[in-house]
Amino acid sequence: MTHHHRPPAARRHRALAAVLLPILAVAGCGTGSAADGGSGGAASGGTLVIGATGKLPNPDTVIGGAGYEGKRLVSFQLYEGLTRYDLSRSDGPSEITGALATSWTVAKDRRTWTFTLRKGVKFQDGTAFDADAVVFNLDRYLNKKSPYYTDALGAGASEYAGDITQYGKLDGDRIRLVTKEPNGHFPQDLAHVLIASPTAVRKTGSAKFSEHPVGTGPFKFVRQKAGEQIELARFDGYWRGAPKLDKLVVKALPDAAARTAALRSGAVNWIEYPNPDDIPALKADGVNVLTNAYDHLWYWILDTGAGPWKDPRVRRAANYAIDREAIAENLLHGTAEPAHQAAPHGTFAYDPANDTYRHDPAKARRLLAEAGYPHGFATSVTVPTGGSGNLVPVPIAEAVQRDLAAVGIKAEIRTTDWTTLIGAEAKGEVARGSQAVAQSTTLFQSEALLPLFIGTGSPFWTGHYSNPEVDKLLAKAGADADRASREAAYTQALKLVTADAPWLFVVNDRNPRALAPTVHGLVQPQSWFLDLTTVRVDR
């Protein structure tokens, strides 16, 4: 066995910014498969042109930079990890299955993992995938002595591979990975540790690899206008079978009106997050709008360390003040669901018995009076003007503002751009100095990130929330390889978070996307991610 040792190091947690950038959601229509549900059998599957909501990612493996939307539409189309999300069903949270590995085992120490690699897989440049390729990529991410290591790659890989202390080849189709601590969700983490062609990296060097990216994914790189448009083509040698599409083009269209106009004009035939107000007219034009529950929460993080928000009675009062049903139906036109607890509806941690906060202004006023605020108080919230996954953030914040004002809580809205907001959070700060932050996030799409949101001592600004019992449950779940046990612990942890109310729980998005009637075969999973191999476009 060849060995690669890494000194133990704290995670840099930069990946949180990528998760706070995730995609969007909106619904209102049906769930599940697109249009006719067929996948066709024609040799030519046409060209799919997608209008994305923000800038496109750096296509060099883990660098990304456009959140889960960028990973969904670009990175996961070019590359794969040892594992992947099974995105073939729409009736439950997506499971982890094998990708470049077919199976894995963990030793009794719960730290040593052995992965059996898939045989016969080719990179898009025709070279063979093997154990050496995995070691090469891990060196690129984790070994600062590698000529292909960069700080950007190291930071991008830190959240998902940062706890790997040893890695090496056992033989041609087996590798061994050792983590610093027991990590029950390690197979899920590895879906995000993407594998590039060593031959291609050596040819270009890391500095130029983003201009000629090569992976094992279903689509291969053709050309790009960095951050604005990328063109991919079907990879006929893909190990799961060639995609139906001939080409996949992704365009950055951050303005919602521009996305709708592009769909209507035929400049694109698919848009992410249509504006809820546009959905009835789009449906009247024959556009298919697909939605589904998934791991998404739009919420306010409250400063639990000082001022009125320090009192849990005040935080609970504010939650009872919110009319979530009105926001979901009247403002978001059914493209989101009311969030009555911390666990999003579309996750395994959701338990209907834990739904707590209904619209009850009278109860809100009683709690405020008990806490010593019979006449309410003044506060402030920083709200992004946009950003992947944030729906229509300012109008939602204004609706919450009105509901809070009705019970005496006067909230000043301070707007900023998404990059500034998450940049400040990464430094442990609040942009514009408010007592709360409004945003969206994912909790369980990547379990590795959950302690950063609700655990004590996060390097990110989380409103100073801390509950030792929550920390114990997170530690128990994180070390447990048994999924059922992890799920039970997470459900209990989120029940405690719901009771503590460190957030204002507002809505769960339903991940809407609008497809021209010529687009067929998409399965809309309960996930941020998508399998585009089944999609075809009629000519």
Mean predicted confidence (pLDDT) in 3-12: 46
Mean predicted confidence (pLDDT) in 339-364: 96
CA 245 to chain centre: 25
Are 180 and 8 within 8 A, CB to CB? yes
| Per-residue pLDDT tens over the stretch 362-379 | 999 999 999 999 999 999
Model confidence band, residue 6 (pLDDT cutoffs 50, 70, 90): low
Model confidence band, residue 446 (pLDDT cutoffs 50, 70, 90): confident
Mean predicted confidence (pLDDT) in 14-18: 40
Model confidence band, residue 55 (pLDDT cutoffs 50, 70, 90): confident
Maximum C-alpha span of the chain = 71
pLDDT value, residue 184? 92
Query: At a CB cut-off of 8 Å and minimum separation 6, what does 322 contact?
Result: 357, 359, 400, 403, 404, 504, 505, 506
pLDDT value, residue 43? 72
- Of 25-34, 152-161, 347-356, the poorest mean pLDDT is in 25-34
Model confidence band, residue 481 (pLDDT cutoffs 50, 70, 90): confident
Q: Which residue has the tokens 């609008």?
A: 514
Query: At a CB cut-off of 8 Å and minimum separation 6, what does 339 contact?
Result: 297, 298, 299, 324, 345, 505, 506, 507, 508
Ordered DSSP codes for 114-150: EEEEPTT-B-TTSPBP-HHHHHHHHHHHH-TTSTT--
Is the pLDDT at 12 greater than 50, yes or no?
no
Mean predicted confidence (pLDDT) in 294-310: 97
Mean predicted confidence (pLDDT) in 480-499: 94
- Of 42-46, 129-133, 252-256, the poorest mean pLDDT is in 42-46
Type of residue found at 177? L
pLDDT value, residue 78? 98
- Say how far apart CA 372 and CA 393 lie, in whole Å: 31
CA 33 to chain centre: 21
- Say how far apart CA 539 and CA 231 lie, in whole Å: 18
Type of residue found at 384? P
Mean predicted confidence (pLDDT) in 12-34: 37
Is the pLDDT at 189 greater than 90, yes or no?
yes
Domains of the chain as residue ranges with CATH: 44-79+217-292+512-538 (3.40.190.10), 81-209 (3.90.76.10), 296-509 (3.10.105.10)
Which CA distances in Å does 503 have to 219, 340, 435, 499? Answer: 40, 11, 12, 10
Are 303 and 347 within 8 A, CB to CB? no
Type of residue found at 71? K
Let me know the angle formed at the C-alpha of 494 by 471 and 390, rounded to the nearest 5 degrees.
Answer: 110
Three-state secondary structure readout of 384-435? ECCCCCCCCHHHHHHHHHHHHHCCCEEEEEEEECHHHHHHHHHCCCCHHHCC
pLDDT value, residue 381? 98
Please report how many Cα atoms fall inside a 13 Å half-sphere around the Cα of residue 115, on the Cβ side.
Answer: 27
pLDDT value, residue 159? 84
Phi, psi of 43 (to 5 degrees): -65, -35
Q: Any idea what DSSP says for residue 74?
A: I
pLDDT value, residue 418? 82
Is the pLDDT at 254 greater than 70, yes or no?
yes
SS3 (DSSP) at 79:
coil
Give this prediction's pTM.
Answer: 0.86
pLDDT value, residue 141? 98
| Per-residue pLDDT tens over the stretch 393-408 | 999 999 999 999 999 9
- Of 12-16, 247-251, 453-457, 500-504, the poorest mean pLDDT is in 12-16
Is the pLDDT at 11 greater than 60, yes or no?
no
Q: Any idea what DSSP says for residue 335?
A: S
229 or 448, which is more confident: 229
167, containing H or E segment: strand 164-171
Is the pLDDT at 518 greater than 70, yes or no?
yes
Phi, psi of 327 (to 5 degrees): -65, -45
Model confidence band, residue 26 (pLDDT cutoffs 50, 70, 90): very low
* Beta-bridge partner residues of 33: 523
Mean predicted confidence (pLDDT) in 250-266: 94
pLDDT value, residue 442? 87
Please report how many Cα atoms fall inside a 13 Å half-sphere around the Cα of residue 10, on the Cβ side.
Answer: 7
Is the pLDDT at 190 greater than 70, yes or no?
yes
Average pLDDT, the chain: 91
Q: What percent of the chain is predicted at pLDDT more than 70?
A: 92
Is the pLDDT at 196 greater than 80, yes or no?
yes
